[in-house]
Structure 1
Amino acid sequence: MQAPPHRHRRSPAASRLAPVPQRRRRGPRRRRRRAGWRRWVLLLLLGSLIWLSRGWWWPSPPPPQMILVLGGDLDRERHAARIAKQLGLPVVVSGGSNPEYAHWLFEQRQGLPPGQVQLDYRANDTLSNFTSLVDDLRRARIRHALLVTSSDHMDRALLVGRIVAGSRGIHLTPEPVGCGALCQPESRRKVWGDGLRAALWVLSGRDLKRWAAERLSLLPVAARQGGSAPDPAGR
């Protein structure tokens, strides 16, 4: 029989002297990631400082050129009609009262000429109050508008308006309408939620909340109910 091959055994001393394999270091990659995050944070801070200091370098807006009224309360339209008569400014009512009442209020009661008032019914919420009109206002070379809405709605409307209209170079000055005992202060969550929707609209050109709702409504009923199709017999 052939003798088994001799296996070389390492002595304890040789084992102690043998180099221990080391794991691959990930330090440089982590450092690069941290440096990338630092750059983004610095850019964000720099952009915020530029935006907050725009009052020093941004061209001052001209005097108000129009009145923008957000529908939802007749007192807003009455207030806008009074200041329109005082200042002689054109009025745009977004999502307001029915045309019969609006024409009576502005033309017959306040005596404004028909061409001074424009009624627009494309909007159905605060965001679309601005997104449906902002490009029309830019084409009309509007750079400064008085914003008329209820005092309890002004924070949200002004935030959304300054994001959407501000993206087109349009300045808004608040003209709040008192609501007295009928005021219903809005939560910060609602205000900042609409502000986020406005920012996403500026970036993407669409209302992502409505876009998602439309896509969800197109899903099959079975998919929305967890995959179980309804029983046609009703059982």
Structure 2
Amino acid sequence: MRGNNLKPSRRAVLLALVGILCCLGSYFPVRLAIARHFAPVPKLILVVGGTPDREQKAAQLAREYPNLDVWVSSGSSEAQQIFTKAGINQSRLYLDNRATDTVSNFTTMVDLLKQQHIPHVFLVTSDFHLARSTAIATVVFGSEGIAFTPVAAYNPYYPPESQLRMVRDVGRALLWLGTGRTGSSLKP
């Protein structure tokens, strides 16, 4: 049997690593479930910037939820005009341009959400970008117990993103958890 060729110390290390990965894999979803239980309704609209379709979808959502503020993390150059045209009061709109990529969209916003005691957000992004964004949000927001409800804006111009990009960015989000850095300077 091949499994018996492993030395007992290596087997113990391997089992410990598998145990740690299993714990991490369940830690974030459990924190998110608890957060969602205590705050079932989103308290803010967060737009993970990039394309105007996301801001248009967020403006539509802002009309449906007139008491929620809207934060746009590194949005398009048209963001303010889109919300103005949709009749959203500018006092509800916050444009934050600190993020340089999807991972930093979340890592730059998480402290602000904690400071404002926001336990649950609508997370608005494009449909092609939704899987990667929710994976990153699971790590970054999940680590802080901030629930999110994904909302997809239809964008016919982009194909779904690759699994490799998702794995890379989840790894960068985990790096941020351990070091406070996202590794954005390492991206190609």
TM-score when normalising by structure 2: 0.83
Other-structure match for 2:49: 71
Does residue 1:187 correspond to 2:166, yes or no?
no
Indicate how the Cα distance of structure 1 residues 209 and 179 shifts in structure 2: closer, same or farther if over 3 A, else same.
closer
Does residue 1:203 correspond to 2:178, yes or no?
yes
Given that residues 61 and 171 in structure 1 are in contact (C-alpha distance below 8 angstroms), is that contact kept between their aligned partners in structure 2?
no
Greater RCO, 1 or 2 (C-alpha within 8 Å, sep 6+):
2
Does residue 1:82 correspond to 2:57, yes or no?
no
Matches for 1:74-223 after TM superposition, within 5 Å: 74-88=52-66, 89-98=68-77, 101-107=78-84, 109-180=85-156, 182-210=157-185, 212=186
Distance 2:97 2:139 in 1: 21
Distance 2:17 2:125 in 1: 38
Residues matched between the structures, number = 178
Distance 1:53 1:72 in 2: 27
Given that residues 135 and 168 in structure 1 are in contact (C-alpha distance below 8 angstroms), is that contact kept between their aligned partners in structure 2?
no
Other-structure match for 1:38: 15
TM-score when normalising by structure 1: 0.68
- Indicate the larger mover: 145-154 or 200-209: 200-209
Indicate how the Cα distance of structure 1 residues 104 and 44 shifts in structure 2: closer, same or farther if over 3 A, else same.
closer
Given that residues 61 and 144 in structure 1 are in contact (C-alpha distance below 8 angstroms), is that contact kept between their aligned partners in structure 2?
no
1:115 positional shift: 1.7
Distance 1:123 1:55 in 2: 25
Q: Percent identity of the aligned residues?
A: 36
1:77 positional shift: 0.5
Given that residues 123 and 148 in structure 2 are in contact (C-alpha distance below 8 angstroms), is that contact kept between their aligned partners in structure 1?
yes
Distance 1:77 1:53 in 2: 27
Q: Which has the larger radius of gyration?
A: 1
Q: Which runs of 5+ in 2 are unaligned?
A: 1-6
Report the structure, 1 or 2, having the larger helix content: 2
1:169 positional shift: 1.2
Q: Which runs of 5+ in 1 are unaligned?
A: 1-29, 214-235
Distance 1:38 1:130 in 2: 32
Deviations 1:93-121 (A, max 9, x none): 011123xx4333223x2222222110011
Given that residues 29 and 142 in structure 2 are in contact (C-alpha distance below 8 angstroms), is that contact kept between their aligned partners in structure 1?
no
Given that residues 48 and 125 in structure 2 are in contact (C-alpha distance below 8 angstroms), is that contact kept between their aligned partners in structure 1?
yes
SS at match of 1:58: helix
SS at match of 1:132: helix
Superposition RMSD in Å: 2.4
1:158 positional shift: 0.9
Given that residues 33 and 147 in structure 2 are in contact (C-alpha distance below 8 angstroms), is that contact kept between their aligned partners in structure 1?
no
Indicate how the Cα distance of structure 1 residues 43 and 151 shifts in structure 2: closer, same or farther if over 3 A, else same.
closer
